[in-house]
Copies of this chain bind each other. A is one copy, B any other.
Amino acid sequence: MILEMLDTITEMLQNREFHNLRSLLTEYEAADIALLFAEVPTESLGLLFRLLHKEDAAEVFVYLDTDLQQALLQTFSDAELEEVFDELFVDDTVDIIEEMPANVVKRILDSADPEKRAQINKILKYPKYSAGSLMTTEFVELKTHMTCEDVLKSIKRSGVKKETIYDCYVTDASRHLIGVLSVKDLLLAEEETDTVESLMLTEPISVGVLDEEEAVASTLKKYGFMALPVVDNENRLVGIITYDDAMDVLEESSSEDMEMMAAITPTDKPYLKNTVWETWKNRIPWLLILMLSSTFTSKILQHFEDALVQCAALTAFIPMLMGTGGNAGGQVSVTVIRGLSLGEIRMGDVLRILWKELRVALMAGGTLAIVNFCKMLAFDNVTMLVAAVVSVTVFSVVVLAKLVGGLMPILAKRLGCDPAVMANPFITTIVDVMSLLVYFGMAKMLLGL
C-alpha cells in the first residue's frame, strides 16, 4: 500500500529528490496517490501535485477531498488551473464546482473554453440528485448511415475525450435517441461496411433527465449496463450516466438509509470530515424528538403509579418488555425498508407482508413468552401469576411490534416520506407505549390491581 511509503516519500520531498519521487509516483494508481495526498503536510501539497504527470494530475485531483482540492486550487496559477480542468471530464468538473465557493467557481468557469463552459452550465442547471446533474455530456454519438469503419475512425478522432466509448448512442437528425451500439458488436461485426443501422439495438432503455439519481442507478444495475442514456422529455439525448457513478450513488443511498434508520440526518461527507458542530446538528433534532415523545410513556407510568407501588415486582420487567418490543419491531421495519429500497417489495405486497409477519410474530412471540416464563420462575423469584402477566405481555408486544414494524415503513412510503425514517427509534417509541398499556391491562386482569 502507498501509505506504507509515506515516510520514504516525505524524506524524498525534504531531500528534494524530485526526479526519483516523480518516477516513484507513476507506479501508483490515482486513487492511491489521493490517499497519500490526504496524509502529507498541506505546504507540500502543491509541490507534490506538480510532480505528477499531466494526465495523472487531473485524475488524482478528482479523487481528492473537497478541502484538499480547495487548498490546491488556491496555489494554482490560471494556466495550471486551465491545464488540470482541461483534462477532466465534464461531470467530474461539475462535481467539483458544486462544492467550491463562488470565487473559485468563477476561476474554473473562466478557464474553460466556451464549449465546455456551456456543457458545465447545462449540467449545473439540473436539480441536485437528478439524472441531469449526475450525467456527463461526453459520449459517442453515431448516425445510422455510418459504417463500422466510419465509427472506428470517429472514435479514434474523438474517443480520448469521451467518458466511455464502449456504448455508443445513435441519434436521428433532431438528436432523438433511436439506438445503441456497443463496441463489442462493432468489433465482432462481419464486414467493415456494415452500417450502424444494421448493427444497433433499437428502442434502447433510457432515463429522463429529471429522474431521481437513485432510481437511475437502480435501473443501470438491474440491466447490468455499462452506461445509461439520459433523454429530455422529447426523447432527445442529452447525456449518459456511467456504471462507476451509479455505484457511488447506490452506496451513498445505502449509507443514507442506514443513517436515517439510526435517527441521523444523512450527510454526504465522510464521518471524519464532519466537524463536531455538524455531527451534533445531524443528530440532536432526532434525539430531542424521541426524548420528548417518551412523555407518553412517562404519563402512562405516572397514571399507574399506584399499581406499581402495590406490586413493585412489575417494575423490574418494564425495560425487558420495551427492549424486546423494540427489537422485534426493528427487525421487521429494517427488513421492509431495505426490501422497498431494493425494489424487492412493492406497495401491492402489503397484505402478503402482514400475513407473513403475523405468522412469524405468533411463532416468535410464543417462543419468547415460554422461555421468559420458565426463566422468571427459575431465576426471578416471582409468583407464577406475575410470570404469567409478564409472559403474556411479551407475546402480545412481539405480535404488535412486528405488525407495527411492517406497516409503518409502507405507510411512510404511501405518504411520500422516506420509509427509512420509520426504523428502530420511531418504532420503539410507538411500541413502548403499546407495551405499557398491554402490561398494565394484563396486570389489572390477572392481578386485580
On A, residues with C-beta under 8 Å from B are: 27, 29, 31, 152, 155-156, 159-160, 165-166, 183-184, 187-188, 203, 205, 221-224, 226, 243-244, 246-248, 250-251, 254-255, 257-259, 261-264, 270-272, 276, 279-280, 283-284, 286-288, 290-292, 294-295, 297-299, 301-302, 305, 308-309, 312-313, 315-320, 322-324, 326-328, 330-331, 333-336, 338-339, 342, 344-345, 349, 352-353, 356, 359-360, 363-364, 367-368, 371-372, 375, 379-380, 394, 398, 423-425, 428-429, 432, 436
Report the Cα distance A64→B436, complex, angstroms. 46
Cross-chain contact B291 with A203 (CB below 8 angstroms): no
A203: nearest chain-B partner, CB-CB: B27
Which of A165, A276, A313, A336 has the largest count of B CB atoms less than 10 A from its CB? A276
Cross-chain contact B319 with A294 (CB below 8 angstroms): yes
Q: Which residues of B contact A322 (CB under 8 A)?
A: 319, 322-323
A-B complex: 9 closest residue pairs judged by Cβ atoms: A262-B334, A294-B320, A254-B254, A301-B316, A297-B319, A224-B244, A270-B344, A298-B316, A271-B339
Cross-chain contact B287 with A328 (CB below 8 angstroms): yes
Q: How far is the CB of A306 from chain B (nearest CB, A)?
A: 8
Report the Cα distance A303→B381, complex, angstroms. 12
- Count of chain copies: 2
A298: nearest chain-B partner, CB-CB: B316
A258-B334, A259-B334, A284-B367 known, 9 other contacts, Cβ within 8 Å? A31-B223, A183-B183, A221-B247, A272-B339, A272-B345, A276-B359, A284-B364, A309-B309, A319-B319
Report the Cα distance A398→B284, complex, angstroms. 11
Cross-chain contact A288 with B371 (CB below 8 angstroms): yes
Q: Which residues of B contact A27 (CB under 8 A)?
A: 203
Q: Which residues of B contact A368 (CB under 8 A)?
A: 284, 287-288, 291
Which of A221, A258, A367 has the largest count of B CB atoms less than 10 A from its CB? A258
Cross-chain contact A188 with B203 (CB below 8 angstroms): no
Q: Which residues of B contact A302 (CB under 8 A)?
A: 313, 316, 380
Cross-chain contact A330 with B183 (CB below 8 angstroms): no
Q: Which residues of B contact A360 (CB under 8 A)?
A: 276, 279-280, 283
Q: Which residues of B contact A263 (CB under 8 A)?
A: 327, 330-331
